Structure 1
Amino acid sequence: MEALLIILGAVIVYSVITYFWQKRIVKALTEEEFRAGYRKAQLIDVREPDEFAAGHILGARNIPLTQLRMRMKELRKDQPIYLYCQNGLRSGRAAQMLYRKGYRDLYHLKGGFKTWTGKVKKKA
């Protein structure tokens, strides 16, 4: 029982540290803030290709989180990167990966694509 409490405590501490570190490295933007800046940035949808095909923000490039490590060189470090996923979790993880590789100007859509009310493109 004591070991279980130690493990649970460690998981909680890790989660809290990760949460605050993520808040420091990536700025969560409301839809209004996101709209104001994404056209001047690299707009990246980190969802899987089938999710992207079902609908994505007009102008977005699809680089799934599962492929980000291999495709990171497609992104420029000298331009802002606007990330989004379905609900905000994967884009936060993507931002952490990018930050570790030297990317600094990182933003993500608070609440993810499910909260987006702007223009959407669907693949035929």
Structure 2
Amino acid sequence: MENPAFRHLSIDTLTTWLDADHPLTVVDIRDPASFAAGHIPGSGHLDNDSVAALLEATPRERPLVVVCYHGHSSQQAAAWLAGQGFNEVYSLDGGFTEWEHRLPGRVERGGP
């Protein structure tokens, strides 16, 4: 059976990975104002202007986690990124909204 282009990732698993300094890249595809208002610490803002730099600089073997508002739009972006040759691409279930609700102390503020 063939693996899907991307996988779903729970907030609990992402938290475990971040706490263990698991090597990964986290990208947030929400609009710049929403990203500046709050995002997962260590995540980068990804949009049409920054995607080329991501594709050039990010190792394809490093897990890549895509975050959006609620975990829906990130699925499309994750599928597209998987098609760009990334080996492990994840869409964060619940998105940033659920992350902020469950882990308000683990939200970074500031612009992209």
TM-score, normalised via structure 1 length: 0.71
Residues 1:79 and 1:85: Cα distance change in structure 2 (over 3 Å):
same
2:52 alignment counterpart: 70
1:46 alignment counterpart: 29
Equivalent pairs counted in the alignment come to 101
Residues 1:70 and 1:55: Cα distance change in structure 2 (over 3 Å):
same
Whole-Å separation in 2 of the counterparts to 1:68 and 1:89:
21
Residues 1:98 and 1:68: Cα distance change in structure 2 (over 3 Å):
farther
Q: Pick 1 or 2: higher relative contact order, CA cutoff 8 A, min separation 6.
A: 2
Deviation per CA, 1:63-110: give whole Å up to 9, x if none: 12x346533223220211111111112211111111111112111210
1:3 alignment counterpart: none
SS at match of 1:82: strand
**What's the RMSD between the two structures over aligned residues?**
2.0
2:13 paired residue among 18, 25, 33: 33
5+ residue gaps, structure 2, are: none
| Structure with the higher helix share, 1 or 2 | 1
5+ residue gaps, structure 1, are: 1-22
Superposed structure 1 runs of 4+ greater than 6 Å apart: none
Identity among equivalent pairs (%): 26
State the AA in 2 paired with 1:106.
Answer: V
Residues 1:34 and 1:105: Cα distance change in structure 2 (over 3 Å):
same
2:108 alignment counterpart: 121
